[in-house]
């Protein structure tokens, strides 16, 4: 596979651009917004809360209503497959004194929402949810929500962000204590929008993020960098398909997102980052990769937050490496769009790859040769499982089939065309 490509805008930054733009009074512009179904669900929710959101040419405009001025939606907010959109919006609406119901697809309705509902209850928000704090969820904020100090119990940027978003519209100072550093787009972007937010990092790495609520936000002009979690599929394809050499341009290089690059380089991948530069407070660059002989490594648990969405595609790379790759600290993979740890292990087995699945770890034993392939992988409504195994099929001895490609549109609609432009063949079968 060869060529130069760009991938769509970062999903995390795209959701936040729409949400923060809705809270700023005036017009925010967003270039390179990810137009995946997840982000479009967030756009629809923000419209239902009073924002005017439109696309003119390749620029999205968000005419925000102002912090504290969201309208009561007339219908339940439907977030489809989108965990980030739904959880951040729950935080956003927790201090509002009106009822709002959240619904989603079968995958989202099976995911745990208690992780954000617990701190939101502490602000005084009333919550009605299904068994196990699952969707549909109805929130009704307290007339006088109280600021909280919350220590995030699992490494999750979604939980951190939900509490900070609630704090934006609560009088006084809301504090989040984050023992493990997770993606920091909320903190960076809220500072850019003029929120009263401070971040302190202690000597032991624990971060304390404080936000003082009920201040005005200023509209921004945003260009969303390429999503490293989407670039990952092209990068691994370039590494494992014989003879490949390709570049993925303008990719976000925020250190909370680059764990996969570090791991692949430790495995011996021929990866060089060119043209590093800064835009809108984030570092971006062009990632050049060439087909490489990979060796198995141990991926430490501490690295998990910086590559949490990349384990399915790392497991595919590991299947082509020589020796054992051991991935540790994977408990959060069990509550993603599906149980990704199990889905990856079954997919590898189905394609003749030797692996062992533990409670929170996975080992993959590659032979240094092409994986067998030939299997059909169950994707469980999970876009990243689908894309990871389609990449495997580009390099395996026999093609790999996935049972459903529809969910790819949640984050990377262009994936089959982009792979085709690089010379890889992905075909729909009846
Ligand atoms: C995201 C945080 C991560 C990640 C998700 C996007 C975000 O989830 O898996 O795709 O934008 O904050 P967790 O916070 O649950 O780890």
Q: How far is the CA of 309 from the centre of ligand 1 (A)?
A: 8
Averaged pLDDT, 77-90: 98
Ligand 1, atom 13: closest residue by C-alpha = 156
153: pLDDT strictly greater than 90: yes
Question: Catalytic one among 309, 339, 354, 417?
Answer: 309
Average pLDDT for the chain: 98
Averaged pLDDT, 362-388: 97
Query: Is 299 part of any domain?
Result: yes
Q: Identify whether residues 189 and 237 lie together within a single domain.
A: no
Q: Give the per-residue pLDDT at 280.
A: 87
Q: Identify whether residues 285 and 165 lie together within a single domain.
A: no
Q: Do strands 99-103 and 77-78 pair parallel, antiparallel, or not at all (unpaired)?
A: parallel
Structure tokens at 213: 């609520």
Among the three residues 223, 254, 280, which one is the final residue of a domain in this structure?
Answer: 223
Query: Is 232 part of any domain?
Result: yes
Averaged pLDDT, 162-182: 98
Among the three residues 170, 202, 223, which one is the final residue of a domain in this structure?
Answer: 223
Pocket lined around ligand 1, Cβ cut-off 6 Å: 12, 84, 156-158, 161, 183, 308-309, 332
Structure tokens at 48: 């239902």
Among the three residues 223, 256, 277, which one is the final residue of a domain in this structure?
Answer: 223
Q: How far is the CA of 369 from the centre of ligand 1 (A)?
A: 33
Q: Identify whether residues 59 and 150 lie together within a single domain.
A: yes
Percent of the residues in the chain that have a pLDDT greater than 90, as a whole number: 99
Q: Identify whether residues 233 and 309 lie together within a single domain.
A: yes
Query: Is 1 part of any domain?
Result: no
Q: Identify whether residues 233 and 211 lie together within a single domain.
A: no
Instruction: Give the Cα separation of 88 and 75 in Å (integer).
Output: 18
Query: Is 157 part of any domain?
Result: yes
Sorting pLDDT into bands at 50, 70 and 90, what band is 267? very high
Can you give the residue range of the structural domain that contains 304? 228-421
Averaged pLDDT, 242-263: 98
Q: Identify whether residues 267 and 326 lie together within a single domain.
A: yes
Q: Identify whether residues 325 and 237 lie together within a single domain.
A: yes
Averaged pLDDT, 394-419: 98
Query: Is 313 part of any domain?
Result: yes
Sorting pLDDT into bands at 50, 70 and 90, what band is 331? very high
pLDDT one-digit tens code per residue, 299-326: 999 999 999 999 999 999 999 999 999 9
Query: Is 293 part of any domain?
Result: yes
Q: The domain that contains 193 carries what CATH number?
A: 3.65.10.10
pLDDT one-digit tens code per residue, 209-241: 999 999 999 999 999 999 999 999 999 999 999
Q: Give the per-residue pLDDT at 9.
A: 98
430: pLDDT strictly greater than 80: no
Query: Is 3 part of any domain?
Result: no
Q: Identify whether residues 319 and 215 lie together within a single domain.
A: no
Total number of domains in the chain: 2
Provide the angle, in degrees to the nearest 10, between the axes of the packed helices 114-122 and 83-93.
10
């Amino acid at each position: 596979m060869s060529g130069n490509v760009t991938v769509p805008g970062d999903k995390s930054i795209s959701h936040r651009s729409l949400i923060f733009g809705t809270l700023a009074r005036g017009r925010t512009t967003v270039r390179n917004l990810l137009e995946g179904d997840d982000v479009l669900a967030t756009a629809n929710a923000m419209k239902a809360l009073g924002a005017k959101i439109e696309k003119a040419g390749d620029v999205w405009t968000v005419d925000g209503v102002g912090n504290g001025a969201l309208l009561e939606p007339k219908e339940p907010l439907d977030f489809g497959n989108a965990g980030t959109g739904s959880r951040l919006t729950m935080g956003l609406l927790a201090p509002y004194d009106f009822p709002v119901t959240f619904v989603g697809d079968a995958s989202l309705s099976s995911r745990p929402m208690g992780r954000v509902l617990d701190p939101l209850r502490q602000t005084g928000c009333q919550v009605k949810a299904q068994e196990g704090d699952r969707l549909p969820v109805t929130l009704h904020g307290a007339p006088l929500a109280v600021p909280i100090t919350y220590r995030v119990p699992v490494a999750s940027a979604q939980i951190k962000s939900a509490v900070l978003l609630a704090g934006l519209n609560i009088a006084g100072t809301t504090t989040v204590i984050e023992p493990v550093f997770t993606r920091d787009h909320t903190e960076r972007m809220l500072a850019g929008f003029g929120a009263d937010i401070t971040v302190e990092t202690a000597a032991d790495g624990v971060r304390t993020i404080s936000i003082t609520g009920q201040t005005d936000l200023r509209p921004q002009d945003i260009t969303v960098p390429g999503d490293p979690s989407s670039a990952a599929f092209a990068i691994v394809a370039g590494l494992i398909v014989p003879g490949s050499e390709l570049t993925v341009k303008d990719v976000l290089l925020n250190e909370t997102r680059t764990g996969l690059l570090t791991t692949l380089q430790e495995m011996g991948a021929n990866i060089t980052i060119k043209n590093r530069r800064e835009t809108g407070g984030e570092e971006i660059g062009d990632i050049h990769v060439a087909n490489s002989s990979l060796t198995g490594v141990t991926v430490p648990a501490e690295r998990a937050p910086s590559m949490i969405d990349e384990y399915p595609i790392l497991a595919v790379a590991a299947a082509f490496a020589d020796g054992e790759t051991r991935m540790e600290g994977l408990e959060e993979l069990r509550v993603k769009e599906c149980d990704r740890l199990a889905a990856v292990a079954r997919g590898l087995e189905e394609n003749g790859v030797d692996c062992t699945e533990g409670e929170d770890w996975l080992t993959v034993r590659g032979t240094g040769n092409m994986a067998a392939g030939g299997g059909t992988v169950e994707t469980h409504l999970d876009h990243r499982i689908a894309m990871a195994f389609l990449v495997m099929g580009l390099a395996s001895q026999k093609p790999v089939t996935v049972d459903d490609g529809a969910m790819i549109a949640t984050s990377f609609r262009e994936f089959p065309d982009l792979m085709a432009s690089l010379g890889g063949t992905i075909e729909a079968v009846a």
